[in-house]
């Protein structure tokens, strides 16, 4: 891709000082999109169609068209309807929403308000992970300012549209980033994912129609309303358009969050955007979109771009675009054990395959890491992955199984080198 990333001007987190202050935000064209949709000629239907046309694919990991998701909401029946914004951001390697909370909270608030208007929601909940304590506080301040200016509350900007906006902090559970367990958590219950169907659009928060969107997804909405769907689809990859926040971490010289179009070549991101490998080491592998997405070998990244289609071809996923870069010194066994430890620790314990499987995976990997593993343990690991994938209520079991399956598959030599020769086969 011959795209000159240096000429790209960020729009989600633009380079404007003190943009988190509401006055700065409004002086720079903030809340204009909200005013635009609340004026007479934009009915909710039109907003949904515009967003659908922009093909904003959910930035929380699933990559589902946001406008299409909105259109699943049933017709208003007079009862409450909710928009729940997922700022739990618990996937390891992901730290993009926090930049929005910090640098451009009003863009997200505006997007959420437009979404609430499009779906005729009566209240918006934003769920922010508990560790982001200062950003929860910042969000509370930003909401208060927006309330004071009349962007939230009763009869917003004289349009007759009412909506309430609440902030809730999480308590540190990974599983609460799963949309239905986030709803449970919002209701004040233990974060257990719900059985679907019924889907949240039919029965969500407190049994009422609810749509759940990622913070970054909603932040794209005001830009789409302001510049039009065509502008948005013109950015980045054709099937997965728009600006995206790449969170690059690991063994690079300049780790950080970078706003760039989708479809960036992975090697360009590492070599140019993130300043190249630390200490001039060789690239060994990357995890493209948060710890649960399958790892890619460093020597197989030529021509692979950061968009859903290209990554699927390469055998991985876009996820949250939180890329973890590993250099040649990385011990893949250690790395995989650490990831498995995370999923073992975070499994909610509701479904059998995940509750028991995550622990078993970790224990076997620990054994291999300590030099007590045997070749047959690798077969058992792969077998266990098949026993977990697609067998649970939510996708945590898949998220725990994929790294194991693909890391062993793609770095098998390293695992075998750590294992003793099996003395007998496992039944």
Partner 1 sequence: MPEIFIDGERYEFEGKPKLLQFILDNGKEVPFFCYHPEMSAPANCRQCYVKVGTPVQNRETGEYELDENGERVIRWFPKMQTSCSMEMTDGMVVHTQETSEEVARAQKDTMELILINHPLDCPICDQAGECPLQIQTYKYGPEGSRFEVKKVHKPKRVELGPRVTLDAERCINCTRCVRFTEEISGTHQLTISSRGDKNYPITAPGMEFDDPYSLNTVDICPVGALTSTDFRFKARVWEMNQTPSIDITGGKGTNVDLWTRDNLVLRLTPRYNKNVNTHWMPDEARQAYRKFNENRISRPSIKADGDNQIKTSWNNAIETFAEKLESVKPADVMVLGSAHASVEENYSLMKLFSTWGVNDFHFSPDVKDGFGDNFLLTDDQAPNTNGVKALGFNEISTDDLKTAIKSAKVIVLLNDELVDRGVLGSEDLEKPFVISLATNETETSKSTDLVIPITCIAEHAASYVNVEGRIQRSLPAKETKYTHRKMDLEMSEGRLDRYGTNFDNWVNEDNKIDCTPTWELMNNLAKRLGLSVQFGSSREIMDEIASSVSTFEGVSFERMDDENGIQLTGITKEEVSA
Residues that bind partner 1 (CB under 8 A): 173, 175, 190, 195, 197, 344-353, 355-360, 363-364, 367, 380, 387, 390-393, 426-427
Minimum CB separation from partner 1 for residue 182, in Å?
16
Nearest distance in Å: CB 196, partner 1: 9
- Distance, CA of 79 to chain centre: 30
Min dist. Cβ of residue 344 to partner 1 (A): 6
Cβ closer to partner 1: 187 or 299?
187
Give strand ranges (E) for 139-182.
Answer: 164-169
CA 401/CA 67 separation, integer angstroms: 31
CA atoms within a 13 Å half-sphere pointing along the CA-CB vector of 281: 17
CB of 9 to partner 1, least distance (A): 42
Nearest distance from C-beta of residue 395 to partner 1, angstroms: 11
Helix axes 44-54, 215-227, angle to 10 degrees: 100
Encode 352-379: b = buried (16+ Cβ within 10 Å), e = exposed. ebbbebbbbbbebbbbbbeeebbebbbe
Structure tokens belonging to residue 191: 């974060």
Output 323 or 368, the one with its CB closest to partner 1: 368
Q: Which residues does 235 contact at the CB level (< 8 Å), separation at least 6? A: 241, 242, 243, 261, 262
Q: Report the residue number, 226 or 355, with the smaller CB distance to partner 1.
A: 355
Q: Which residue has the tokens 């900007």?
A: 157
**Shortest distance, CB of residue 215 to partner 1, whole angstroms?**
25
Closest to partner 1 by CB, 86 or 358: 358
Q: What is the number of alpha carbons within 13 Å of residue 211 lying toward its C-beta?
A: 29
Give the angle subtended at the CA of 413 by the CAs of 92 and 338, to the nearest 5°.
Answer: 25
Provide CB contacts within 8 A for 419, sequence distance 6+.
Answer: 368, 373, 374, 375, 377, 378
DSSP per-residue string spanning 4-38? -GGGPPPSSS-S-TTTTSHHHHHHTTTTHHHHHHH
Residue closer to partner 1 by CB (options 157, 382) is: 382
Taking the least distance from each CB to partner 1, the nearer of 85 and 395 is: 395
- Judge residue 166's burial from the number of C-beta atoms within 10 Å of its C-beta, 0-12 exposed, 13-18 middle, 19 or more buried: middle
The least distance separating partner 1 from the CB of residue 425, rounded to whole angstroms, comes to 11
Q: Which is nearer to partner 1, 184 or 307 (CB)?
A: 184
Judged by beta carbon, residue 166 or residue 190, the one nearer partner 1 is: 190
Minimum CB distance to partner 1, residue 145 (Å): 37
Nearer to partner 1, 179 or 362 (CB): 362
**Closest CB 348 distance from partner 1, rounded Å:** 6
Our CB check for partner 1 shows the closer of 105 and 170 to be: 170
| Element spanning 334, H or E | helix 332-346
Minimum CB–partner distance for residue 23 and partner 1 (Å): 44
Strand 322-327 with 243-250, pairing: parallel
Count, residues in the chain: 427
Contacts of 239 (CB under 8 A, 6+ apart): 55, 307, 308, 309
76 or 359: CB nearest partner 1? 359
Shortest Cβ 374–partner 1 spacing (Å): 10
Residues 194-214 as b/e (b if ≥16 CB within 10 A, e otherwise) read: beeeeebbebbbeebbbbbbb
């Amino acid at each position: 891709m011959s795209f000159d990333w240096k000429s790209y001007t960020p729009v989600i987190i633009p380079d404007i000082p003190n943009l988190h202050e509401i006055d700065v935000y409004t002086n720079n064209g903030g809340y204009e999109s909200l005013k635009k949709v609340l004026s007479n000629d934009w009915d909710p239907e039109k907003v949904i169609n515009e967003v659908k046309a922009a093909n904003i694919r959910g930035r929380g990991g699933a990559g589902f068209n946001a406008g299409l998701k909105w259109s699943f909401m049933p017709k208003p029946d007079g009862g409450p309807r909710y928009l729940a914004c997922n700022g739990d951001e618990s996937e390891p390697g992901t730290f993009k929403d926090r930049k929005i909370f910090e640098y451009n909270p009003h863009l997200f608030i505006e997007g959420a308000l437009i979404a609430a208007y499009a779906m005729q929601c009566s209240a918006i909940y934003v769920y922010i992970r508990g560790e982001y304590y200062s950003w929860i506080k910042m969000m509370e301040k930003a909401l208060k300012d927006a309330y004071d200016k009349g962007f939230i509350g009763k009869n917003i900007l004289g349009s007759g549209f009412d909506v309430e906006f609440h902030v809730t902090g999480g308590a540190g559970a990974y599983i609460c980033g799963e949309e239905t367990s986030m709803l449970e958590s919002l209701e004040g219950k233990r974060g257990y994912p719900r059985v679907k169907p019924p889907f949240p659009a039919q029965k969500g928060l407190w049994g009422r129609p609810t749509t759940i969107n990622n913070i970054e997804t909603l932040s794209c909405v005001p830009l789409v309303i302001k510049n039009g769907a065509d502008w948005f689809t013109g950015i980045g990859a054709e099937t997965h358009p728009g600006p995206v926040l790449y969170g690059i971490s690991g063994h690079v010289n300049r780790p950080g969050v970078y706003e760039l179009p989708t479809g960036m070549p992975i090697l360009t991101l590492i070599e140019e955007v993130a300043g190249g490998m630390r200490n001039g080491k060789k690239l060994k592998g990357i995890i493209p979109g948060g710890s649960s997405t399958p790892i890619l070998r460093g020597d197989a990244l030529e021509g692979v771009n950061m968009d859903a289609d290209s990554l699927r071809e390469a055998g991985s996923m876009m996820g949250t675009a939180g890329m973890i870069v590993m250099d040649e010194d990385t011990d893949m066994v250690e790395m995989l054990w650490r990831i498995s430890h995370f999923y073992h620790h975070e499994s909610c314990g509701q479904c059998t395959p995940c509750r028991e499987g995550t622990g078993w995976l970790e224990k076997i990997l620990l054994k291999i890491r300590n030099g007590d593993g045997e070749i047959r343990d690798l077969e058992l690991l792969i077998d266990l992955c098949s026993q977990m994938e697609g067998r649970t209520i939510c996708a945590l079991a898949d998220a725990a199984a994929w790294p194991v399956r693909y890391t062993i598959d793609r770095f098998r030599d390293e695992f075998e080198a750590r294992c003793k020769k099996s003395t007998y086969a496992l039944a």
